[in-house]
Amino acid sequence: MKKFLIVAMVCSLALVSISCKDIEREIQDSQDALPVIEPGNNALPKDVLIPEESVYTQEELAALNTTQIKWGPGSETNEAGCPQACVSLQQQYEKYAALFLGPDREKVYLTFDEGYENGYTASILDTLSEKQVRAVFFVTMDYVKREPELVQRMIEEGHTVGNHTTHHPNMTTLSLEEAREEVQELHEYVKEQFGYEMSLFRAPEGAISEQSMALLSTMGYHNVLWSFAYADWDPKKQMNPSEALQRVCDRAHPGAIYLLHAVSQTNAEILGQMIDTVRSQGFEFGSLEEELP
């Protein structure tokens, strides 16, 4: 009888131990799976100032609309020459740390998307250095791994490297955890390899939803969209340089955020003239990262 009681007690203790370990594992798994930073948690990058109202809890994120927002700068402008759509979008979505226009309306801002290298980024960097202009380069994981020297040069020359996701998906089609991983994996890789912490994000294809933007702002990122873009992304269908230059310069406006693709030979050719012409119109080129509140 005593032997039976001892065996029973040992089994009970073992079950309690296993149960406690299982509970601890479940708690740890749930913590690891959280795709957000809770308000008041100082886990945001120390140099990134995201307004408290742009940081959301898991429950708040889950309740937000996941429908992709159909948007574009359009052709209608206000009295200052800014795309009216971007003015309205800025007012509507600034609660998600979104930027459709730059923070200083007396300046314009250059941003380049870097999905892959086509041989022109070095030339673009040369021109920016010559003209003393800083830009944002939004990179993917593939680009960073294939072109570490160019990424290092961007950083050393004072440009901003922005997060364009790991695999370039439509972020509105992903779960919160999947979307978080797309951003976090690249963020951590760049931090480890270059000692650089990114704080600006551009959604692939410009595909955004309220939930996706809120997730990024909660992770410590500003969502950078644009107020000017043109069909420059296909190397086989490049616009005539003179025509492209006129289009880019004619659309200069207060706070303009230019989206340009670095795979474009035309962009590389006209960049210097474009900077000079836009400056002659009374604008200066700003640095988004430095001028954000």
Mean pLDDT score, 265-273: 98
Percent of the chain with pLDDT over 70: 83
- Quote the tokens at residue 86: 């971007």
Mean pLDDT score, 157-174: 98
The reply to whether 113 belongs to the active site is yes
Q: What's the chain look like in SS3?
A: CHHHHHHHHHHHHHHHHHHHHHHHHHHHHHHHHCCCCCCCCCCCCCCCCCCHHHCCCHHHHHHCCCCCCCCCCCCCECCCCCEHHHHHHHHHHHHHCEECCCCCCCEEEEEEEECCCCCCHHHHHHHHHHHCCCCEEEECHHHHHHCHHHHHHHHHCCCEEEECCCCCCCHHHCCHHHHHHHHHHHHHHHHHHHCCCCCEECCHHHCCCHHHHHHHHHCCCEEECCCECCCCCCCCCCCCHHHHHHHHHHCCCCCCEEEEECCCHHHHHHHHHHHHHHHHCCCEECCHHHHCC
Catalytic residue of the set 29, 32, 113, 234? 113
Rounded to the nearest integer, the mean pLDDT of the chain is: 87
Q: How high is the pLDDT of residue 285?
A: 98
Q: How high is the pLDDT of residue 22?
A: 42
Residue 49, pLDDT > 70, answer: no
Q: How high is the pLDDT of residue 248?
A: 98
Catalytic residue of the set 164, 168, 187, 261? 261
For the four alpha carbons of 82, 83, 86 and 90, in that order, the dihedral sign comes to positive
Residue 98, pLDDT > 80, answer: yes
Residue 20, pLDDT > 70, answer: no
Q: What is the pLDDT of residues 105-129, one digit of tens each?
A: 999 999 999 999 999 999 999 999 9
Nearest one of 237, 250, 178, 174 to 205, comparing CA atoms: 174
Model confidence band, residue 42 (pLDDT cutoffs 50, 70, 90): very low
Q: Residue with structure tokens 């616009």?
A: 239
Mean pLDDT score, 168-178: 98
Q: Give pTM, 2 decimals.
A: 0.84
CA dist 54 and 94 (Å) reads 9
Count Cβ atoms within 10 A of the Cβ of residue 32 and give its class: 0-12 exposed, 13-18 middle, 19 or more buried. exposed
Phi and psi of 229, rounded to 5°? -155, 155
Residue 166, pLDDT > 80, answer: yes
Instruction: Report the DSSP beta bridge partners of residue 99.
Output: 224
The reply to whether 261 belongs to the active site is yes
Mean pLDDT score, 32-37: 36
Phi and psi of 75, rounded to 5°? -110, -15
